[in-house]
């Protein structure tokens, strides 16, 4: 059944075809905005964090992950600077292990090798964030280790 365009913006569906995990500061107004348009035109029911009211607890994102069928994890150079991106990724990978969710990694201006490289800049930012916030570094590392082994897409930004 097609979603009604007349439904209230406060009424969100009980399930999603796609959950989009990404670093908003870096990608919201470029790659992700184009992705949203393409998903909408294709009639795909997707979830992105700006669909929530600003007063919602951020843990609602974990519920949205659990309600989804597919997660697009969009890795970019600033991804590991966000505890929320990494915490969402941990939840995504837990759902993948349970067989409740499929993940499609998208490597945007980073390679799978950079994501996996424990000594590289991508991981360095994660280590720095975990020291600042006292976060659970081991869970983040485990989630990042398993993602590059999944079939995904590697994209380079096109200027011109």
8 A C-beta contact, residue 45 and residue 17: yes
Task: For residues 28-43, give the mean pLDDT.
Answer: 94
pTM of this structure: 0.84
Q: Catalytic positions, please?
A: 88
Domain ranges of the chain: 18-155
Average of pLDDT values for 57-68?
90
CATH for 18-155? 3.40.50.10140
pLDDT reported for residue 158: 54
Q: What is each CA distance from 149 to 15, 56, 115, in whole angstroms? A: 27, 34, 11
SS3 annotation, 57-115 = CCCHHHHHHHCEEEEEEEECCCHHHCHHHHHHHHHHHHHHHCCCCEEEEEEECCCHHHH
Radius of gyration of the chain (CA): 16
Contacts of 71 (CB under 8 A, 6+ apart): 18, 19, 20, 21, 65, 92, 95, 96, 101, 102, 103, 104
CA 91 to chain centre: 10
Give the range with max mean pLDDT: 2-6, 30-34, 128-132.
30-34
In Å, what is the CA distance from 160 to each residue of 33, 64, 126, 130, 157? 18, 36, 32, 37, 10
């Amino acid at each position: 059944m097609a979603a009604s365009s007349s439904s209230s913006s406060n009424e969100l569906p009980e399930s999603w075809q796609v959950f989009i995990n990404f670093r908003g500061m870096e990608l919201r107004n470029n790659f992700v905005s184009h992705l949203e348009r393409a998903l909408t035109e294709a009639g795909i029911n997707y979830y992105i964090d700006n669909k929530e009211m600003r007063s919602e607890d951020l843990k609602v994102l974990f519920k949205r992950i659990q309600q989804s069928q597919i997660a697009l994890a969009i890795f970019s150079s600033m991804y590991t600077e966000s505890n929320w991106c990494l915490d969402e990724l941990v939840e995504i990978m837990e759902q993948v292990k349970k067989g409740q969710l499929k993940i499609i990694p998208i490597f945007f201006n980073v390679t799978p090798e950079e994501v996996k490289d424990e000594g590289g800049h991508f991981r360095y930012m994660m280590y720095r964030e975990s020291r600042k916030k006292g976060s659970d570094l081991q869970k983040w590392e485990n989630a990042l280790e398993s993602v590059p082994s999944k079939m995904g897409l590697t994209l380079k930004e096109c200027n011109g």
